[in-house]
């Protein structure tokens, strides 16, 4: 397969026209605090197994995507060590103790540079892969992601990561408003709440793809196998 040509990927609500050289794999917030048993997510009472099921399909996809020589971008949600980019409303919402910025099981919670803020070892970025440190839910808010994508002539995003209804959905909506085509892989995104997983994916593909497309990693791997 020629990298300059497009190929159709089976998806919902209809096939996604994939342009390899214009597409980036965007892996959202696969961070230790969200996915590991001793992290912030587990401390709040969430079942991290619901998110950990996404690790293996993401690892397989990432390996083949890298082998094809395509662009990979990772995101991490977190804040400056002085918390000057943390709105008070976000810090106190949910009335949790401890909260963002406090010391948790893996260092200060959602603070850049702390162990829990970092990406899990199974999906750790290579030196040449960009990491977008974002203070909010969306990957475009208060970051340079849009500039990076424009400079590299990227028009499409294949999106994976967590959580489906929060940071994944927010990023897809931000990307849609900026003109990017987004394909979300349902086995590579996860939520602590199964009902939110279903609803979050349905919102993306509703009304003939109001925000984007939904597929599975096997459909993408079948195409990437022809590129490597």
As a whole number of Å, the end-to-end CA separation of the chain is: 9
Question: Which residue in 61, 60, 35, 39 sits closest to 49, CA to CA?
Answer: 35
Catalytic (active site) residue 177: no
- Which candidate in 29, 118, 133, 181 is catalytic? 29
Residue matched to tokens 């083949």:
64
- Which candidate in 118, 134, 181, 205 is catalytic? 134
Q: Cβ–Cβ contacts within 10 Å for residue 103, how many?
A: 11
* Cβ-based neighbours of 163, under 8 Å, separated by 6 or more: 29, 34, 51, 189, 190, 191, 192, 196
Catalytic (active site) residue 23: no
Catalytic (active site) residue 182: no
* CA-based torsion, 63, 174, 172, 3: positive or negative: negative
- Which candidate in 23, 167, 182, 188 is catalytic? 167
Question: Which residue in 164, 208, 214, 165 sits closest to 185, CA to CA?
Answer: 214
Q: Cβ–Cβ contacts within 10 Å for residue 195, how many?
A: 9
Active site residues: 29, 134, 167
């Amino acid at each position: 397969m020629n990298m300059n040509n497009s190929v159709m990927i089976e998806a919902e609500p209809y096939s996604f026209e994939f342009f390899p050289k214009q597409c980036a794999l965007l892996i959202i917030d696969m961070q230790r605090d969200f996915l590991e048993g001793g992290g912030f997510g587990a401390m709040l009472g969430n079942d991290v197994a619901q998110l950990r099921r996404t690790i293996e399909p993401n690892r397989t996809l990432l390996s083949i995507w890298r082998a094809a020589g395509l662009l990979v971008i990772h995101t991490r949600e977190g804040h400056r060590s002085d918390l000057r980019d943390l709105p008070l409303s976000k810090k106190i919402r949910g009335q949790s103790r401890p909260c963002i910025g406090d010391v948790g099981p893996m260092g200060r919670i959602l603070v850049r540079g702390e162990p829990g803020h970092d990406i899990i070892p199974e999906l750790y970025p290579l030196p040449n892969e960009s990491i977008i440190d974002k203070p909010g839910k969306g990957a475009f808010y208060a970051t340079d992601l849009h500039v990076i994508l424009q400079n590299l002539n990227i028009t499409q995003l294949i999106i994976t990561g967590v959580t489906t209804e929060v940071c994944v959905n927010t990023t897809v909506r931000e990307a849609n408003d900026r003109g990017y085509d987004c394909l979300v892989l349902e086995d590579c995104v996860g939520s602590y709440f199964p009902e939110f997983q279903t609803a979050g994916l349905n919102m993306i593909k509703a009304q003939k793809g109001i925000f984007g497309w939904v597929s599975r990693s096997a459909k993408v791997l079948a195409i990437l196998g022809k590129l490597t």
